[in-house]
Structure 1
Amino acid sequence: MLEITGALFLIVLGYIIGSVRIVEQGDQAIVQRLGQFKRILNPGLNFVIPLMDTVLIETIREQLLDIEPQRAFTKDNVPIEVDAVVSWQILDLRKAYYAVEDLEESLKQIVISTMRNEIGQLTLEETFSSAGAINQALLRQLDKSTANWGVKVIRVEVQEFQISPSLRESLEKERAARSEKQAELTRTQGTVQSIQQLAQALQGQMNADDVLRYLVAKDYVTASMELGRSDNSKIVFMDPRALNEAVTDLMGHAEVIQPRDRGNIDGNGDA
């Protein structure tokens, strides 16, 4: 009799222990009875029927899904690699468990597909400046696709765009060339503006031609001194007559101003 009582006691004790399920804060659990959905267990102490009920515990905390670098092609057919991080959370455990077979993999495939589609509509230059727009497009598409999955995508962040080293070097050279061209254009515009201002200032001046010749000669001497400082400098001379003619042409005169007599240096005159 005592043996039977002891056995019954152990059975009852085992049943009680087996029926207890403790769900931690931040988690929920699905109870399936004989393979069918029965109910949801919330955090705290819960009881189920041993041997008949199966308990599947899932977190309802915010989760991060890391998307490894994926190859995509821009609108101008440049290969680029991009990765992203998705922050998401289960709102309805029953839908999340039964609506889609592999929730995380499904989220991942949507992110990859949307990233490639968005990048394919942008040029390489636009891609690097449109990370925020791509994030918003990803978020809209995920919200649309997961509307019946019982989950909420909180945010999506594209982490980094990567291109091959050879392409990066080529782009840097092109950018440097554009910068130099812009700088040269700026200098040219400044020179043109200075000439225009000088021409306006000299209008009506009696000694305008003398002033202009002085300025040109001064710049010629300065340029020659700069050339002389260079390690591989070459001596450059300009015929004074040609310089005088250039100045006269700039002033708009038809007459060429002759330089001073240099004393028959060609040997045809008197000593």
Structure 2
Amino acid sequence: MGSLLSYFFALFLIGGGYYLGSIKVINQGNQAIVERFGKYKKTLQPGLRQVWLVTERIAVEETTREQVLDTEPQQAITKDNISVEVDAVVYWKINNLYKAYYDVEDVKEAIGNLVITTLRSEIGTMDLDQTYSSRSEINKNLSIHLKEAVDSWGVEVTRVEVQGIKPPQTVLDSLEKERAAESMKKAAIYEAEGEREAAIAQAEGTVKSLEMISKALLEKPNSQDVLKYLIATRYVEANEKLGESSNSKIVFMDPKALTEAMTDLMETPELPIKRDGGNGSN
């Protein structure tokens, strides 16, 4: 009797161990595929699941959450025959684990190769300048092409972002020189335009000043004294500016000769004074 109880107890332990060993835990956000004798049996959802030992096995357990695939930088040729180095980041997730596991050998590698091929093809339709200004358009076109291609793999591409488009250093140096030359050209144009406007303003001011002085001299009876005063003022201002100059030099002049020069400068013919009075002249 005791041996029989021991036998049943041993069977109980073996059966219990077998049952407990068949219980599997599938984590939240994951799915698993179960095969029986090498053939697909079922897909396990998150939670406690039973997989019979010996006859069944979990072939793969994979996340259904969004994943990130960062491709290695690759060489591509633009429409204007310039070699550039490009790379992209793909955000994707598994919608159908059965297709992702059985319909393609390595879904992640397949997506990476498809991204590289599609990216090269897209870059080949654009000039180098377009690749810089059309980054969002490239991302959009890549997403459309990839979504169509990976649908049969049970995979969804949520978005694609081109990280960088880098031409050779010689091209970068050439572009930098071109931008510098363009900036210098614009600066020269602005400077010339400013000088032209300043010259016009100065000329207009000079003309207006001469008109005012001429009008004042014609209307004043002491016009000769006014003219001498203006000439003397200009002479003094010119000497002050000469003295302030950083490269000015000391010049010794004979005071007598200087006085005579000023006297000759200020002794100008009398200006005719316009007077009203009859048709004749005195």
TM over 0.5, yes or no? yes
Determine the structure 2 residue equivalent to 1:152.
156
CA deviation profile, 1:178-231 (whole Å, cap 9, x unmatched): 2212333444556667788999x79x99x79xxxxxxxxxxxxxxxx9xx989x
Instruction: Using the TM superposition, give the Cα deviation of residue 118 of structure 1 relative to its aligned residue in structure 2, in angstroms.
Output: 1.2
Determine the structure 2 residue equivalent to 1:79.
83
Determine helix, strand or coil for the equivalent of 2:151.
coil
Change (3 A) 1:123 1:194: farther
Determine the structure 1 residue equivalent to 2:56.
53
Determine helix, strand or coil for the equivalent of 1:148.
helix
Determine helix, strand or coil for the equivalent of 1:22.
strand
Are residue 29 (structure 1) and residue 32 (structure 2) matched? yes
Which amino acid in 2 is paired with 1:57?
E
- Count residues with an aligned counterpart: 215
Which amino acid in 2 is paired with 1:180?
M
Determine helix, strand or coil for the equivalent of 2:73.
strand
CA deviation profile, 1:10-56 (whole Å, cap 9, x unmatched): 32022202211110101011111111111111111111221111212
Query: What CA RMSD, in Å, does the superposition of the two structures yield over aligned residues?
Result: 3.2
Whole-angstrom distance in 2 between the partners of 1:33 and 1:229? 99
Determine the structure 2 residue equivalent to 1:137.
141
Which amino acid in 1 is paired with 2:95?
L
**Seq. identity, %:** 44
Whole-angstrom distance in 1 between the partners of 2:130 and 2:193? 30
TM-score (ref. length: structure 2): 0.66
Q: Choose 1 or 2 for highest CA Rg.
A: 2
Determine the structure 2 residue equivalent to 1:108.
112
Change (3 A) 1:10 1:133: same
Q: Determine which of 42, 46, 50 is the counterpart of 2:45.
A: 42
Whole-angstrom distance in 2 between the partners of 1:85 and 1:57? 24
Gaps of 5+ in 2: 212-241, 248-282
Which amino acid in 1 is paired with 2:40?
F
Determine helix, strand or coil for the equivalent of 2:152.
coil
Determine the structure 1 residue equivalent to 2:268.
none
Change (3 A) 1:167 1:47: same
Determine the structure 2 residue equivalent to 1:13.
16
Structure having the larger proportion of residues in helix:
2
Whole-angstrom distance in 1 between the partners of 2:92 and 2:153? 12
Gaps of 5+ in 1: 209-224, 231-271
Instruction: Using the TM superposition, give the Cα deviation of residue 142 of structure 1 relative to its aligned residue in structure 2, in angstroms.
Output: 0.7
Which amino acid in 1 is paired with 2:183?
S
Whole-angstrom distance in 2 between the partners of 1:155 and 1:229? 67
Determine helix, strand or coil for the equivalent of 1:161.
strand
Are residue 126 (structure 1) and residue 130 (structure 2) matched? yes
Change (3 A) 1:118 1:33: same
